[in-house]
Each structure stands twice: as C-alpha cells, then as structure tokens.
Amino acid sequence: MSAVVRIYIKEMLSVLRERRVLFTTLLLPILLMPILMYGPLLFFGNAARQTQAQVQKVGVQDLPPVALEALRTARLEPVPTATPEADVREQRFQAAVRFRGGTFTIYGRLSGATQSSLVVGKIETALRDYKDSLVAQALQARGLSPEVLEPVRIVTQDASRVQERAAGIFAFLIPYFLVIFILNGGQAVAIDATAGEKEKGTLEALLAAPVPLMQVVLGKALATLTVALAAALAGVGGIVLGGTLVRGLFSGLLQGTNPDLGGGLSLEPWAYAALLATSVLFAALMVSIQLSLGIYARSFKEAQSYMAPLLLVFIVPLLLLQFSDFLIQQPWFYLIPAFNVMLLLDGLVKGSAEPWQLLLTWGSTLAYAGLALGLAVRSFQREDVVFRN
Amino acid sequence: MVKAEGLSKTYTHTWAVDHLSFTVGKGEVYGLLGPNGAGKTTTLRMLATLLRPSAGTAAVAGYDIRQQPLEVRRNLGIVNGGMQVYERLTGREVLQFFAGFYGIEGRRFRERLEWVSALLGMDRVLDKLVREMSTGMRQKIVIARAILHQPPVLLLDEATAGLDVFARRALLDFVLQYRGLGHALIYSTHVMSEAEEVCDRVGFMHGGKLVYEGSKAEALALGQGSLERAFIRRLEGGA
C-alpha cells in the first residue's frame, strides 16, 4: 500500500469517527437544504392560500356601496373607519381603502412578505374587477363591445431551455451551494489534517516518517477532496431531493407563489459528468489552498479564522451569478480563478454551457489547482511554517 | 551510531544550536541535558531531518542527515513528550499506519506487534481508541510507534512530560531495556535526576552550546553526586 493511500485511509477514518464532522458536513445539508430552500415558500404559499380562503376585515372610508359589495364578494369584510392609514400602521387592519375624488387609495404594510400585502392583493383584484365592470357598462351604454379595449392579444411564452426551467428560480442557487459546500466540507478536514495535527503534536511524528512530503500532502489532499465533494453532493442532493418532494407532495401549498419553483436538475448525462468534473477541479483548487492556510496556522482556531474570509471572497461573485444573464460574457471570464467555475456551473445547470467554456475553465482550474498544490507542498517543506508555534 | 560535527542552527541572528559535536555509540544512552530553550529539541529535530542545519552535519546509523534524509528516518525512532497520538484511531491502527511507512505489513507486522506488546505489556489495549486510553497506555503506544521498526537510534525528547509516577517509571525502565538490545539512545531532558538513572554519558547544553560532556560518573563527580549541581557548577565556571 502506498504512503498516499495509507495517509488517505487514516484521514478518512478520523473523519468517519468524528460524528460532529459527519453531521455538519454530510447529514445536515441533506436535512437542512430542503427546509432552507423550500420551507419559506411552503409557508408563504400556505399563508397565501389561507388568506385567499379566509375572510379578513379591512378598513374602508367613503367607499361606494357597489365597491363594498365587490370587496365582500372577494371574501373581505369592510369595516368603516375614519383613519384608514393609521389603522393599518397600528395593525388594527391588515389593509384599508379610501375613496376620494375618483381615486381608491389602498393602504397596506408592503415591506417584505407580509400578510398585509396578500390582503392588499385581494383588494386590488376586487377593485380591478369592479373597475372593469364599470368600463364594460359604460361601453355597452354607448353600444360598444368591451373587446374594443383589447384589439390584439398579447401572449408571453417561456422559451427557456428545459434545464433552465427545471432549475427554475433556484438556478443560480445550485452552483452557489455547490461552491459553499465544497468550501465548508473541505474546511473541517483540511484544518484537522494540518493545524489540528500541529496543535495535537502528531504532525512531527508523521513528518519524521520516511515518506516524501509530496505523498503526505497528496494523502491529506485526497481525503479533504473526498469529504468536500461528498458535502457538495449532499448539499445539492438536498436541494434536488427537496425540490422533488415539494413538487410532488406539497404542490397544493404552493398556490399563490412563483410557478417557476424549480430546484430540480434536468440535464443530459454528459452535463452531469461535466458538473462533477468541474466540481472536482474546483474542489482540488480549494482543498490545496485550505491545506496551505491550515499548515500555516498555529492552531485549529487560527486556521478557522484564516479560512472564514475565503468563504466571504466567494460570496460576491456567487451573488453576481443572479445577474449572469445581464453579463456580456467574455472568453477571459473563464480564466478568472473560481469565478470561471461559478459561471460554468451556472451555464451547465441552465443547459447553456459551450464546449470552449468547458475547456477554458477546466484547463485553467487544473493549472491553478496544480500551482496551489505546489504551494501546499512548499508550505509543508518550510520549517518556519511547520514549526510555527 | 550518531555522530554530530559542528551541527548548528540559526534563527535571525540567534544561534539556537551552536557548533555542536558529539557521538553516541551502540548500546549507549546519551543524555542531552539543559534547561528549556537550551537547544535540545532543535538538535533532535535536526538529527530527525525535520530541520535543516545552518552549518555542520551529522550521521545517523551511517547516513548523512543532509544527503540521505529518508534513510536517516528509516533508522530512527522519536518519542516526544505529551503522548501525541491520533486519538480517533485504535492503538493497533496507529501502529499499523506508521509500520507501513517502514514496509512492515502483513505477517511481519503481526510479529513486530507481538514483540512490542510483550516488551511494553500493552496487548490488552491495542483495540481501544486512543482517546479512551489512560495516560500510561497512550505513552506505550507512542513508544511502540517509535520502535516498531526496531530503529538502531532512538531519540527521546522530554519523554516523561505529563506522565504520572507509574508511567514515568515504566518509561525509564524501557530506556534501559532498549539500550540492552544494543541500540543507541539520546535522552533529552531538563530533569537531571532522570538522566542520573538512565544515561551512560551526558552533554550539558546551554544557549545552544555544548558546555560540558563526559561520562555520567565524571559528571556526578563534578557535581558531588548530583548532575544538577554539576550543571550549575559548569555554568558558573567552576571546576
């Protein structure tokens, strides 16, 4: 058995026997991701459905009787008030309406996903129906058909790729969490294998064994890579599993929410393979950086403080992925470390990745990973780093 | 077995080890004695090829520490203080892990395990996780890890640090046992009374320099029966 495999097995045994690491890196993503991603939607969808079904009291001021009837038809209970705006602000009503000078003013608390906004929506629909009926009556009184207001029909159809539709509104979140989980999953093992060994005093015995340093670093890097990828698969698995479950079991609860829920992956087999290859290359790069940072740190805590900013560094480009459609993509984007991976993952999930993007990203990431691994080996060779206590 | 010649290590204008020369023969325990910061650990780390000397060199079992680091490591064992072992592995797994680096696998490993278990009396704890072991048992795993490949040279660096009285006694007895097998040992400590028990020759280190070297009997004579007194007298420039 080679020294690399021996070190790999030792590191993996250490990970598998640490329940805390197993739970936080592998189990928690599977359990947490569906709740995190779909919980709020389910909750909001359920709340929206209930708001539609139930009758809410709304403050009204100077409304014509026909408008009041329209509100009642929309399952709202009008309650006269002299101070509609203050009543809503003080949460005596979820919403209120005032009619003055031919204008209906609707009051609601509209910051964020409030129940008030749902009630406002009900009022708007009711009043729009009321307005449409008034327009129709006026047109009919002049002998005109209401259809004169709609001489042409406008139909919007989603022409996006099947893959993009399947991923839906979470299209950018899948690459986002893939990157986050690779970083998070690798971190625990990388620190344990470097600063952790240093702090516990076991590193010296390992380095005194007749093993070339390259093999020591490779063994540790492979173990870290395995856990990082397993964590990423668990995280993305959680999203896909959650998406499937939610669409299958709770579709009723989602009425009133965005119909393009997505959260699924519908890719060609080659695209899954490309997704995996890209993740492996990115993980190799990150793992090498994490090992370099870990060996430089004097303790577990110090290593954590070095690696925390690493996560923050990737948050900004990841958030920019939301707007990737507005980005005029240039070939050199696919040479920028890490950002190229994020762009490619986004393209793969949406089914828009081109072969040249794959080649540029893979080639450059492989080169960066090689350089980072070289840096890690160099760090292990440096006395002032290894014995930095 | 060990021959150091002008061995030196500098850190930004400071000589951590200053032109150290000494030899250790087969079946001999050499005591490297001195207070904390004297340069003992740096010396042992250079011998173990963990640190590169700034000047001078040394040979371990005939292999040059600069030119043949892997060969040196194959002929060396290290016991550090603090009982540092992989806590999430069992004793057997720790030993198997390290033995593999020396090509000791399969039947050969089982034979060596029997030998080391008998030598240290540790067969009953081998399948326990290290984190569940007592201090004494951990120490035995550390020693077993260092000698499983039967190195002709064994380095012990503050090896009794953190040990209770029983474990300390067991370690000192082991040192004498291992010497009895014809191996060379370097016993580095700041606890002079331990050296009085196990060392054949001693070297006093202070400020990176070897300020005295002699047989234990000579050193004891210098200190009127006490190595500690001999060390102080030597530093004060006495006899």
Least Cα distance to A383 among B9, B75, B77 occurs for B9
Facing B86 at nearest CB: one of A6, A14, A383: A14
What is the pLDDT at residue A263?
55
Higher-confidence position of A317 and B145:
B145
**Residues in Cβ contact with A58 at an 8 Å cutoff, skipping those fewer than 6 apart:** A71, A76, A77, A78, A79, A93, A94, A95, A96, A97, A119, A123
Specify the higher pLDDT residue, A157 or A45.
A157
Out of A44-53, A208-217, A343-352, which region has the weakest mean confidence (pLDDT)?
A: A44-53
Provide the pLDDT for residue B66: 94
Q: Do A209 and B73 touch (CB under 8 A)?
A: yes
In angstroms, the CA A82 to CA B43 distance is: 90
For residue A85, what are the CA distances in angstroms to A59, A94, A109, A171? 9, 11, 10, 40
Whole-number pLDDT of residue A264: 59
Q: Does domain B1-75+154-163+175-239 have CATH number 3.40.50.300?
A: yes
DSSP state of B155: E
Residue A294 near residue A379 (C-beta atoms within 8 A): no
Judged by phi (left if over 0) then psi (alpha if -120 to 50, else beta), residue B121 lies in left
Q: Which residues of B touch A6 (CB under 8 A)?
A: 97, 100-101
Question: In the A/B pair of chains, how many CB contacts fall below 8 A?
Answer: 66
B211 sits in which H/E element? strand B209-215
Of all residues in chain A, the one with the smallest CA distance to B12 is A384
B50 with A209: Cβ contact below 8 A:
no
Mean pLDDT of B26-30: 95
Domain regions of chain B by residue span:
1-75+154-163+175-239, 85-150
* A383 in contact with B, Cβ within 8 Å: yes
Distance between CA A131 and CA A138 in Å, rounded? 11
Share of chain A residues as helix, strand and coil, in percent rounded to the nearest 5: 70, 5, 20
Q: For chain A, how many residues are written? A: 389
Strands annotated E in A150-213? none
Both tokens of A124, joined, read 């708007």
Question: For position B136, what pLDDT does the model report?
Answer: 83
* Among A66-70, A168-172, B210-214, the least confident range: A168-172
> Is A389 near chain B, with CB under 8 Å?
no
Q: Given pLDDT bands bounded at 50, 70 and 90, which one contains residue A273?
A: confident
Question: How much is the mean pLDDT over chain A?
Answer: 86
Q: How much of chain A, in percent, has pLDDT values that exceed 90?
A: 46
Kindly tell me if the per-residue pLDDT of A218 is higher than 60.
yes
Task: Tell which wins on pLDDT, B161 or A213.
Answer: A213
Confidence of residue A317 (pLDDT cuts 50, 70, 90): confident
pLDDT in tens, A73-112: 999 999 999 999 999 999 999 999 999 998 999 999 988 7
Interface probe, candidates B10, B98, B132, B147, chain A, greatest A C-beta count within 10 A? B98
Domains and CATH numbers, chain A: 3-39+163-386 (no CATH), 56-146 (3.40.190)
Average pLDDT over residues A173-200: 88
The pLDDT assigned to B68 comes to 95
Residue A133 CB contacts under 8 Å (≥ 6 apart), including other chains: none
Determine whether the interchain pair B84/A387 forms a contact, defined as Cβ–Cβ distance below 8 Å. Answer: no
Q: Look-up: residue for tokens 């948050």?
A: A315
Residue A3: its chain B contacts at CB < 8 A? 100-101
Determine the distance in angstroms separating the CA of B51 from the nearest CA of chain A, rounded to an integer: 6
Cβ-based contacts of A212 with chain B (< 8 Å): 70
What are the Cα distances from residue A299, in Å, to A13, A21, A193, A310, A388?
21, 18, 11, 17, 10
Per the listing, tokens 């004494």 go with: B136
Q: Which pair of tokens denotes residue A311?
A: 């996560």
Residue A16 parent element (H or E) = helix A3-16
| Least confident range of A309-318, B182-191, B194-203 | A309-318
Whether residue B80 and residue A210 make contact (CB cut-off 8 A), yes or no, is: no
CA atoms within 13 A on the CB side of A256: 23
**pLDDT tens-digit readout, B43-83:** 999 999 999 999 999 999 999 999 999 999 999 999 988 76
State phi, psi for B128 to the nearest 5 degrees. Answer: -90, 150
Contact across the interface for A205 and B145, Cβ inside 8 Å: yes
Region for B63 from its dihedrals, namely left if φ exceeds 0, alpha if ψ lies in -120 to 50, beta otherwise? beta
With a cut of 70, say whether residue A213 has pLDDT above it: yes
The reported pTM is 0.82
Beta bridge partners, B129, equal: B90
Using CA coordinates, name the residue in chain A closest to B70: A210
Residue B142 has pLDDT above 50, yes or no: yes
Q: Which helix (H) or strand (E) holds B30?
A: strand B29-33
3-class state of residue A65 by DSSP: helix
CA–CA separation, A156 and A162 (whole Å): 17
Separation between Cα atoms, residue B174 and residue A230, nearest integer Å: 45
Q: Which residues of A touch B84 (CB under 8 A)?
A: 200-202, 204-205
Q: Is A213 on the interface with B (CB under 8 A)?
A: no
- Sign of the alpha-carbon torsion through A7, A8, A12, A15: positive
Assess whether pLDDT exceeds 70 at residue A275: yes
Q: Give the mean model confidence (pLDDT) for residues B152-169.
A: 88
Contact between A237 and A244 (Cβ < 8 Å)? no
A200 interfacial to chain B (CB closer than 8 Å): yes
* Alpha-carbon distances, residue B212 vs A265, A289, A330, A358 (angstroms): 75, 47, 71, 68
Q: Report yes or no: B28 and B53 within 8 Å, Cβ to Cβ.
A: no
Contacts of residue B52 in chain A, CB cutoff 8 Å? 383
DSSP string, A96-112: EEEEETTEEEEEE--SS
Instruction: Check whether A44 has a pLDDT greater than 80.
Output: no
Closest chain B residue to A200 measured between Cα atoms?
B84
* A14 interface with B at CB cutoff 8 Å: yes
CB-based contact, A208 to chain B, within 8 Å = yes
- Characterize the bridge pairing of strands B201-206 and A103-108: unpaired
The band of B160, judged by pLDDT with boundaries at 50, 70 and 90, is confident
Beta-bridge mates of residue A353: none
Q: Cβ contact (<8 Å) for B82 and A1?
A: no
Residue A249 has pLDDT above 80, yes or no: no
Full DSSP string of B29-90: EEEEE--TTSSHHHHHHHHTTSS--SEEEEEETTEETTT-HHHHHHTEEEEETT----TTSB
- What's the pLDDT band for B239 if we cut at 50, 70, 90? very low
pLDDT digits (tens, 9 = 90+) for B98-124: 999 999 999 999 999 999 988 888 877
Which amino acid is it at B229?
Answer: R
pLDDT for residue A156: 85
Paired residues of B11 in beta bridges: B14
- Disruptive mutation site among A4, A7, A10, A386 for chain B (greatest number of B CBs within 10 Å): A10
Tell me, what's the pLDDT at A219?
A: 96
* Per-residue burial over A8-40, b = 16 or more CB atoms within 10 Å of its CB, e = otherwise: bbbbbbbbebbeebbebbbebbbebbbeebbee
Q: How many residues are there in chain B? A: 239
Chain A residues closer than 8 Å to B76 by CB: 208
* Predicted-complex ipTM score: 0.91
Q: Which residue of A has its CA nearest to B87?
A: A14
Residue of B nearest to A385 (CA): B51
Strand order in the sheet with A76-80: A76-80, A56-61, A95-100, A103-108
pLDDT tens readout for residues A127-156: 999 999 889 889 999 888 878 888 888 888
Pairing of strands B2-11, B55-60: antiparallel
Asked if A215 is an interface residue toward chain B (Cβ–Cβ < 8 A), one would say: no
